[in-house]
Structure 1
Amino acid sequence: MSYREVTHKSWFSRIINSFVGVLFGFLFFLGSFFLLFWNEGRVNLAKVAKTAQEISAGGSAEAGQLIALTGALKSSSSLGDDYLKAGNYIYLNRRVEIYAWKEDKDSKTKKNIGGSETTTTDYNYRKEWTSSPENSSNFKVDGYHNPSMRIREKEQKANQIELEGFQLEQTEDLSLSAELLHLSQSLLKDQNEVVWASDHYLFSGQGSLENPQIGDLRISYEALPNPSPRMTLFAAYSATNRLAPFNNDRVMGFYRALKGDKTEAINYLQTEHNTTRWILRGLGFFLMWMGLSMIYAPISVFLDIVPIAGRVTRFMAGAASFLISAILSSITILISLILHNWIALLITILLVGGGIVYYLKSKKQAA
């Protein structure tokens, strides 16, 4: 079933709303500079990891020193839950999805002569597996009810973990990577609420995994086996045969176990840092572009009294905002890179200073 809603907004109310949007536009515009500057100064954990002192079983370091230790994580404890038998896992994460209704909205807006605006919104409803079901009480149409999830997600870590003879402290803060657990009937406890459904899913509900009903649940697990594959741990040397999260004036709680040797782990951290950097750069640019567009919006809305004039103005303002944002964000990134790197800052100061001296000497000789 679909539902169509038609709303009308007067020219005057649109102008008022556009001026309110200008305030948010300035916030987005100014906030984009802060985000871009902060992003370029983020600590690169790959560079931090390169400074880690490599130790092996029986090795030692100064208290608080960042170390890199490669081996297999082990634990004397086992992990399980209400449905999965206790097994040899260092880490176990239960993921739960519910088959639920999702509301899709498709809106089309038409500018009218005189500056008013008519918006037509079509609401459609479909079913999907999701870990975050929508609140059906907010749906536009009654009759589509999403029940609450009767089974919740759950994350577990072994209490006692060791690596190459070193005991790990504060394991709740340890960052671990895991893979999807291969499930079988033999791994399940004897109970009626949840059944084995496939290699990767357990199922609970009235339907089936292939033909689910609203409110049905499917459960999967991410796990790190005990002992784990070969991993490299970055941590602080706490005391004899004990490791803990690493902290200094720039890094708080660096405590990660990554697959492979130290070089492979550092490469992963570098890729992670670069990916996040470009995502935040894109977000900063988008916030700047959106902010400028919102600042220019009242002009377009005012000219919407003649729809074609408003459309042309809106296109030109969007193109100008895009170009200005591209230039300003690039300059901000460049300046941020310089300010966050004292060597680059020193070189820049010397170059600028040298340029000024050269210009003054040239001017004096010309006189």
Structure 2
Amino acid sequence: MLGNKNKQSGVWFKIVIGLGCFLIAFPMLWMNEGQADFGRIGASSIAMHADEAVDVDSDTLVAVSGIVISDELIGDHPYLRESNYIQLSRQVEMFAWVEESKTEGEKKYYNYKEEWTDSPPDSSSFNSLEGHENPALPLQNETFTVSQGMIGGYYLDLQEVDLPDSTEVKLNATNVTIVEEEWQLHGNTIFIGEGSPTNPVVGDIRITYHAISSNQKATAFGRIEQDEIVPYLYKDEHKLYRLFFSSREDAIASMRQEYKAMLWGMRFFGLALIWLGIFLIFSPIIALLNVAKFIPGAGFLHDVGRTIIILISGAIAFVLWLIFVIMAVIAHNLILFLAVLLACLIITGAGFYYWFQHFVAPMISCYFNPSTTQNSSPTSLNSMFKFSKKADDLILPKVFFEGVNRNELAIT
């Protein structure tokens, strides 16, 4: 009895999760179709060289190309000496115990192993704490960024502008300071601990760095306000304020590729969520199919039925997804929306014109313009039209045709 209640609860839980997938998928797809295509926006920018003085409006998008520099130096005392970095990121890993669990039937098994991790777990939450204690991480990940830089004669807020991806810093005896005996330089890592880089013990840490260097050719997108490049707002909501270590054309192509990757990635993710949601809503049917596994000679129904449900769920999900995406694309694109609206009006108008010319006009011609239909018998004409007791009161024509003399129509 308890087992049946648990199964029913499980089915209802899956249905709720399925509905939750819908609540996530459709708003996500809607917002995804409304995201800005910065590749297209960037293509409308005015190209400028950093050393040129160009008279542009303060609300105009520009792409300024030149060498990006900064007077500030940043480092990570006492580990890494200062250098001409725009941004420097420190990554810290600790050799720590990690708990793994596996469930088999009604039993749960735990396994513990030592490995390098940048987020060592709190060992107090382990199922078995003894012999698996992790010390606190003595050093945290951190990112350092210079406050201001310049590209030609224009200032850049390097703490606000979107920067390019960083690259790994090559560590050596020149840029690394070793001040303690337990510190060791091993490849591109600084090892600190009681063990060794090849034989660490729990609690040992290693540090690596990624950085963005200055004095590189770059292109900055934004708008010019006096002698500073500041964020550009597209339609007062989409901010474009980015720095690329490439030409304007390559930067635009990169933004366009980012847009396409995000757009289609979220579309396919939304389709997968809708598919999963529909499949989970079919859980009661799947639960019934599970019973077939225990019926002699009917076990195949479970596998076949489950496959059919997966395919049907996918087909329904695809149709719903396609309709919703098309509607979202139209709704977010004003020009496309107006074009579709105009097309609908034209089609509706053409349909109305056809209906009027082929159905309404003949009826009006028949009713108000009597013509010569001498050969038409009252009986045949009476079968084509239905009249009231008053000869002049036409209620409902069954068919419409031209050239009928309403004076010759029989009265029922």
In structure 2, the residue matched to 1:151 is 139
1:18-33 matched pairs, under 5 angstroms = 18-33=11-26
In structure 1, the residue matched to 2:373 is none
SS of the counterpart of 2:252?
helix
In structure 1, the residue matched to 2:256 is 270
Structure 2 residue 62 is the aligned partner of structure 1 residue 67: yes
SS of the counterpart of 2:95?
strand
Matching residue within 154, 178, 186 for 1:197: 186
Structure 2 residue 85 is the aligned partner of structure 1 residue 89: yes
In structure 1, the residue matched to 2:312 is 320
Structure 2 residue 244 is the aligned partner of structure 1 residue 258: yes
Q: Which moved more, 1:185-194 or 1:30-39?
A: 185-194
Rounded Cα–Cα distance in structure 2 between residues aligned with 1:363 and 1:140? 77
Rounded Cα–Cα distance in structure 1 between residues aligned with 2:90 and 2:73? 15
Rounded Cα–Cα distance in structure 2 between residues aligned with 1:137 and 1:16? 33
Amino acid across the alignment from 1:28 = C
Distance 1:357 1:102, change over 3 A: farther
Amino acid across the alignment from 2:151 = L
Rounded Cα–Cα distance in structure 1 between residues aligned with 2:233 and 2:74? 29
Q: Which moved more, 1:29-38 or 1:260-269?
A: 29-38
Distance 1:120 1:310, change over 3 A: farther
Distance 1:333 1:119, change over 3 A: farther
- Kindly indicate whether the alpha-carbon contact (under 8 Å) linking 2:148 and 2:159 is maintained by their aligned counterparts in 1: no
Report deviation, 1:310.
5.9
SS of the counterpart of 1:284?
helix
In structure 2, the residue matched to 1:111 is none
Flag the structure with larger Rg.
Answer: 2
| 1:273-306 residue CA offsets vs partner (Å, 9 max, x unmatched) | 1111122112211221222222222332355445
Rounded Cα–Cα distance in structure 2 between residues aligned with 1:286 and 1:313? 20
Structure 2 residue 38 is the aligned partner of structure 1 residue 52: no
| 1:207-236 residue CA offsets vs partner (Å, 9 max, x unmatched) | 333333333222211112232x21111122
- Kindly indicate whether the alpha-carbon contact (under 8 Å) linking 1:96 and 1:220 is maintained by their aligned counterparts in 2: yes
In structure 1, the residue matched to 2:275 is 289
| 1:124-179 residue CA offsets vs partner (Å, 9 max, x unmatched) | 4444333233343444444433333211111111123111021223x321221221
In structure 2, the residue matched to 1:6 is none
Report deviation, 1:64.
3.9
1:202-217 matched pairs, under 5 angstroms = 202-217=190-205
Query: Would you say how many aligned residue pairs link Structure 1 and Structure 2?
Result: 346
1:102-121 matched pairs, under 5 angstroms = 102-107=98-103, 118=105, 121=108
Rounded Cα–Cα distance in structure 2 between residues aligned with 1:268 and 1:15? 51
| 1:17-55 residue CA offsets vs partner (Å, 9 max, x unmatched) | 321332232121133111112111101111222222222
TM (normalized to structure 2)? 0.76
In structure 1, the residue matched to 2:406 is none
Report deviation, 1:120.
5.6
Report deviation, 1:261.
0.9
- Kindly indicate whether the alpha-carbon contact (under 8 Å) linking 2:190 and 2:207 is maintained by their aligned counterparts in 1: yes
| 1:299-334 residue CA offsets vs partner (Å, 9 max, x unmatched) | 323554454566655443333222211222122222
In structure 2, the residue matched to 1:101 is 97
Rounded Cα–Cα distance in structure 2 between residues aligned with 1:293 and 1:137? 39
Q: Which moved more, 1:14-23 or 1:357-366?
A: 357-366
Report deviation, 1:105.
4.2
Alignment RMSD (CA, Å): 2.6
Report deviation, 1:69.
0.9
Rounded Cα–Cα distance in structure 2 between residues aligned with 1:141 and 1:315? 42
Matching residue within 286, 291, 307 for 1:300: 286
Structure 2 residue 242 is the aligned partner of structure 1 residue 246: no
- Kindly indicate whether the alpha-carbon contact (under 8 Å) linking 1:301 and 1:310 is maintained by their aligned counterparts in 2: no
In structure 2, the residue matched to 1:3 is none
Greater relative CO (CA pairs within 8 A, separation 6+) = 1
Q: Which moved more, 1:356-365 or 1:142-151?
A: 356-365
- Flag structure 1 segments of 5+ consecutive residues without an equivalent: 1-8, 109-117
TM (normalized to structure 1)? 0.84
Report deviation, 1:107.
4.6
Amino acid across the alignment from 2:156 = L
In structure 2, the residue matched to 1:40 is 33
- Kindly indicate whether the alpha-carbon contact (under 8 Å) linking 2:178 and 2:184 is maintained by their aligned counterparts in 1: no
In structure 2, the residue matched to 1:80 is 75
Report deviation, 1:106.
4.5
Amino acid across the alignment from 1:191 = V
- Kindly indicate whether the alpha-carbon contact (under 8 Å) linking 2:289 and 2:306 is maintained by their aligned counterparts in 1: no
In structure 2, the residue matched to 1:5 is none
Rounded Cα–Cα distance in structure 2 between residues aligned with 1:262 and 1:234? 9
| 1:62-116 residue CA offsets vs partner (Å, 9 max, x unmatched) | 22432211112111110011210111211111112223333444456xxxxxxxx
In structure 1, the residue matched to 2:341 is 349
Rounded Cα–Cα distance in structure 1 between residues aligned with 2:115 and 2:248? 41
- Kindly indicate whether the alpha-carbon contact (under 8 Å) linking 1:297 and 1:314 is maintained by their aligned counterparts in 2: no
SS of the counterpart of 1:13?
helix
Distance 1:352 1:102, change over 3 A: farther
Rounded Cα–Cα distance in structure 2 between residues aligned with 1:298 and 1:123? 33
SS of the counterpart of 1:212?
coil
In structure 2, the residue matched to 1:4 is none
Amino acid across the alignment from 1:67 = V
